[in-house]
């Protein structure tokens, strides 16, 4: 198990910090520029959701280095209001913030593995993994 690097998300500027850290890790483990951009976009979306809806939370990164696979795991955790209707937020074009609506479905498309767990009133945990091709 590799050590985790975490970024606390409390203010808008933290979104940039999380994005930069994730992109740096991705570059170091061998992702090309296109996948680095995909990862950075996914991080931005996850961090922005924490900032907008939960106010505080964190994104943790971990390098996955199995014998045949190398990748980056990102876990976004918050203790915010949670998501009432997970299937609704996973619909393309759905947006509660008036944004572009790429949202969580966009994160799922950009990454290889995606897992969302949320409980109303308790918070949300999203894990996303991208594998080096």
Residues of the chain with pLDDT under 50: 1, 101
pLDDT of amino acid 26: 97
123-131: strand order across its sheet: 5-9, 57-65, 70-78, 123-131, 113-119
pLDDT at residue number 80? 93
Report residue 76 as tokens. 């976004």
Q: What is the structure's pLDDT at 94?
A: 73
Domain boundaries, the chain: 4-131
pTM of the model: 0.91
Q: What are the CB-based long-range contacts (under 8 Å, 24+) for 22-30?
A: 22/59, 22/61, 22/72, 22/74, 25/61, 25/63, 25/72, 26/72, 26/130, 29/63, 29/65, 29/70, 29/71, 29/72, 29/132, 30/70, 30/132
CATH code that applies to domain 4-131:
3.30.565.10
Q: What is the pLDDT of residue 22?
A: 97
């Amino acid at each position: 198990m590799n050590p985790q690097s975490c970024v606390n998300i409390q203010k808008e500027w933290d979104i940039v910090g999380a994005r930069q850290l994730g992109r740096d890790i991705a570059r170091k483990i061998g992702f090309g520029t296109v996948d680095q951009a995909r990862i950075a976009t996914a991080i931005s979306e996850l961090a922005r959701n924490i900032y907008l809806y939960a106010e505080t939370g964190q994104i943790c990164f971990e390098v996955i280095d199995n014998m045949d696979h190398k990748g980056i795991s990102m876990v976004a955790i918050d203790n915010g209001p949670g998501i009432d209707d997970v299937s609704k937020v996973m619909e393309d074009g759905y947006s509660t913030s008036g944004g572009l609506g790429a949202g969580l479905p966009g994160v799922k498309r950009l990454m290889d593995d995606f897992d969302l767990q949320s409980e109303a009133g308790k918070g949300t945990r999203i894990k996303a993994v991208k594998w080096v091709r």
